[in-house]
Amino acid sequence: MVHVLGAVPIRVLIVEDNRDICENIAAYLEKHSYVMDFAYDGISAMHLALTNRFDVIVLDLMLPRMDGLSFCQKLRSDAEVETPVLMLTARDTLDDKLKGFKAGADDYLVKPFALQELHARLQALYKRRHGKTDNLLTVGDLTMNRSTLQVHRAGRRIDLTPAGMRLLQRLMETAPSVVARDDLETLLWADERPDGDALRSHMYKLRQAIDRPFDSPLIHTVHRIGYRISEDAQ
């Protein structure tokens, strides 16, 4: 997959048991800075949804082991996961759509569909979700404006590399939760990761900019898991 550093990747979970459809979706979306994971049954999809961070879930209704409606209901009511869900199905009656929305779906696309429309709907769901929050991210005395990409700490302007900017934004958006190493590596390189521990090098440079000139560190390593940003070191 060709991944452009300047583009923000949208991470999508595709839940579809038809592998030909999955291949068509992958071939199209990989051209538009998407990072995709695939599940071919409801149980596998639930495991992925609960153990990874996705921006959007594309969900077929007719699935083995757990159907799409049950998956969506459990995702919302039991797991309390708010990731936007786009239902993808051949069922096109109003009653079917209402059942989907009642289960917790955010949008509904009927098969057969145009890949361009799928792309447009995914973009809309992503923007709708991220547009609900303020452009200013704040952790302690550190701020980032997501519109201007200006970073300040204690009133001092901090200049970052493009990679550092993207890492910091993800950490601040997720704060104070831990962001897994795998998620950060996917953010930077998708599936074309470099040899060696390049992430550690980028995190070292980010810490030099964010923490070294100040009294207390904000970026913390969670051993063997990932990183978090917080005023609290614990």
Neighbour-count burial for 48-60, b at 16+ CB within 10 Å, e otherwise: bbeeebbbbbbbb
Where does the pLDDT of residue 2 fall: very low under 50, low under 70, confident under 90, or very high at 90 and above? very low
The predicted pLDDT at position 7 comes to: 45
The predicted pLDDT at position 71 comes to: 96
Q: φ, ψ for residue 122 (rounded to 5)?
A: -65, -40
In a domain, 210, yes or no: yes
Query: Domain end: 130, 155, 178, which one?
Result: 130
Of residues 109 and 32, more confidently modeled? 109
Judged by phi (left if over 0) then psi (alpha if -120 to 50, else beta), residue 144 lies in beta
What does the alpha-carbon distance between residue 20 and residue 45 come to, in Å, rounded to a whole number?
A: 18
Q: Tens digit of pLDDT for each residue in 135-188?
A: 788 888 899 988 788 899 888 899 999 999 999 999 998 888 899 999 999 999
pLDDT over 90 at 22, yes or no: yes
* Number of domains into which the chain is organized: 2
In a domain, 3, yes or no: no
Amino acid at position 212, single letter: R
Q: What percentage of the chain has pLDDT greater than the value 70? A: 93
pLDDT over 70 at 234, yes or no: no
Asked whether 100 and 92 are in contact (CB, 8 A), the reply is no
Where does the pLDDT of residue 8 fall: very low under 50, low under 70, confident under 90, or very high at 90 and above? low
The predicted pLDDT at position 130 comes to: 67
Query: Domain end: 88, 115, 130, which one?
Result: 130
Q: Which domain holds residue 83?
A: 10-130
State whether 126 and 148 are in the same domain.
no
pLDDT over 70 at 1, yes or no: no
The CATH number of the domain holding residue 121 is 3.40.50.2300
pLDDT over 50 at 98, yes or no: yes
Alpha-carbon Rg of the chain, whole angstroms?
19
State whether 193 and 111 are in the same domain.
no
- What does the block give as tokens for 47? 């495991």
Give this prediction's pTM.
0.58
State whether 117 and 221 are in the same domain.
no
Residues 6+ apart with CB under 8 A from 77: 104
Average pLDDT, rounded, for the chain: 88
